[in-house]
Structure 1
Amino acid sequence: MLAALGFGAADEEIYRHLIARASGTAGEVAADSGRSPAEVHRLLMALCELGLVTAGPGGPAEPTDPAEPGVSATGTRALFTAAPPAVALGAALRRRRDELRDAELDLLALTELHRVAANVRASGIIEVITDTSAVRHRFAQIQDSAQREVRSMMVPNLNVVPHRQNDAGRAGVRRGVLYRAIAPRELLAQPGMVGDVLAGMAEGERVRVADSVPVKLVIADSAVAMVPLFSSRNTAAASILVHPSGLLDVLMAYFEAAWERAYPLSPNTLGDGITETRTGEIDEFDARILALLLAGLTDQAAAGQLRISRRTYQRRICDLMAKAGVDTRAQLGWHAARRGWA
């Protein structure tokens, strides 16, 4: 028990012997404990300093006792009395509790210091934004900073920056940034969404559809990504910005894997709806592009008939060449005829 309060085993042993007899001289306690009188006297004096034992004059010493420790010059032996444990040990216990409480508070302070330091170290990798206006600003900012490509995963019922209010996205497409987006099939059922998707594809955006999209995501070039701060809270404003790191690499790899599994969307023949293209096929819009290419129309004329920009027309031609595994337009025409694409 006393060891938990910082006392040694010998101190506790002598204290227990003294409590058992209420009081006694060093010689008497030594006889009980089997230790030497000198050692017991030293231990009893140490316990006196701790307030566990009191010392007072005892009876006269025997004639053979003058060498016994604790015998006064007058020939009397010191009598040691144990202090009541509830009083003596209660104070020590309270002190230890106070020390443990202080240690606990120090631990909490050190834990907070460690957390803050960890956040400082990670501040170059992630950035937490919770204010709605700040999220809107950064969403536009990361798109404005894109020079090559913006990849996104869309979710239904966006209210912070609805799809049709993404002015930064449309400006990016107009300045030549490639936009690739994956949309869940349920998103296309929202009022006006098909028209928005058609408008985006007409400007050059490439859209694919998946059965579901688990998380809202936007990636600008390979420089920064934005994802929701809270799990399953895709429509909430609170977001995390992820800067170049292993985490950003994971997000980019995840998008590419999802892109490969998703189905390309394109305008249907009448241009008033969209069509999914399954693996190994081309859609109706690409078939029209190939027909115009094989008819010998210039890029500008073909793009005019399709009501798309020349840049978008050329990009779709490059995509078809990559899909066919050829390097020239002449090879693409031969491959298209052989596969029945046009």
Structure 2
Amino acid sequence: MVARLADATERELLTFDDPSGCVRQGVPERMLLHAAQCVRRAASQVPRLRQITSPQGLAHDTALETIQWRNGGEARLVEQVPFRLAVFDRTTAVIPLDLDIFYNGMLIIRDPAVVRALTRMHHSSWMSGDELVTDRDPDQPPAHLVPVLVTLRDGLPDHAAAARLGLSARTYARRVSELLTLLGATSRFQAAITAQRRGWI
């Protein structure tokens, strides 16, 4: 059903997408690959594809390429997606029955008021999310993460680091999480050491 809706979409596809839940719950690989293929097809056909994911989702997506930010789509990072969602041309929305995995069943929504509300929620998350940039030098850190690296190097507690950078505590934590994912680190200390070895700080 989602594939048919995606194929019929003419103007815009909006998603909250985090493949990490599917991986954790053991969704069969063929289903994951099928979902990724549907999104890739949509990215090549639909004028606007906007996907919102989390650092965990992006880390789990390297093999699947469900998040099409390098292939014609747009994507932004938030700390955690509230639930999985797809909105097709602002007329039809689909959410999983368990809010996490489409494989476990889904609800198709065509009520205009509900679809509008979900579209507005997506827009709000989009505006507050961090942009993914495709044309950066892979040997250099993304510009928006450089100040975060400095605060990690300086060993500042979160509240002091966020205040220094003029960020909310939530945004700062999200950027730290993005940095850890980018560096393949499991702790801030490890991230600082890895960044230092790369010459980033």
State the TM-score, normalizing by the size of structure 2. 0.58
Quote the residue 1:218 is aligned against. 86
Equivalent residue in structure 1 for 2:70, among 187, 202, 209: 202
Offset of residue 236 of structure 1: 4.6
Answer yes or no: is 1:190 the counterpart of 2:60: yes
For structure 1, the residue ranges without an aligned partner over 5 or more in a row are: 1-137, 279-342
Offset of residue 141 of structure 1: 0.9
Quote the residue 2:17 is aligned against. 154
| Contact persistence 1:225–1:243 (CA under 8 A) | yes
| Contact persistence 1:216–1:227 (CA under 8 A) | yes
Answer yes or no: is 1:261 the counterpart of 2:110: no
Offset of residue 142 of structure 1: 0.9
Counterpart amino acid of 2:105?
A: A
Quote the residue 2:2 is aligned against. 139
Offset of residue 169 of structure 1: 2.1
Quickly say closer, same or farther: Cα 1:272–1:151, change in 2 above 3 A.
farther
The 2-side partners of 1:203 and 1:140 are apart by 18
The 2-side partners of 1:236 and 1:216 are apart by 11
Quickly say closer, same or farther: Cα 1:147–1:212, change in 2 above 3 A.
same
Q: Report how many aligned residue pairs link the two structures.
A: 138
Q: Which has the higher contact order (CA 8 A, sep 6+)?
A: 2
Quickly say closer, same or farther: Cα 1:140–1:235, change in 2 above 3 A.
closer
Further displaced range: 204-213 or 155-164: 155-164
Offset of residue 228 of structure 1: 1.5
Counterpart amino acid of 1:224?
A: T
Quickly say closer, same or farther: Cα 1:176–1:261, change in 2 above 3 A.
same
State the TM-score, normalizing by the size of structure 1. 0.36
Quickly say closer, same or farther: Cα 1:154–1:274, change in 2 above 3 A.
farther
Counterpart amino acid of 1:206?
A: E
The 1-side partners of 2:106 and 2:140 are apart by 33
For structure 2, the residue ranges without an aligned partner over 5 or more in a row are: 146-201
Equivalences for residues 9-28 of structure 1 within 5 A: none
Counterpart amino acid of 1:171?
A: R
Quickly say closer, same or farther: Cα 1:267–1:145, change in 2 above 3 A.
same
- Please report the RMSD computed on the Cα atoms of aligned residues, expressed in angstroms: 3.0
The 2-side partners of 1:151 and 1:271 are apart by 28
SS at 1:196 equivalent: coil
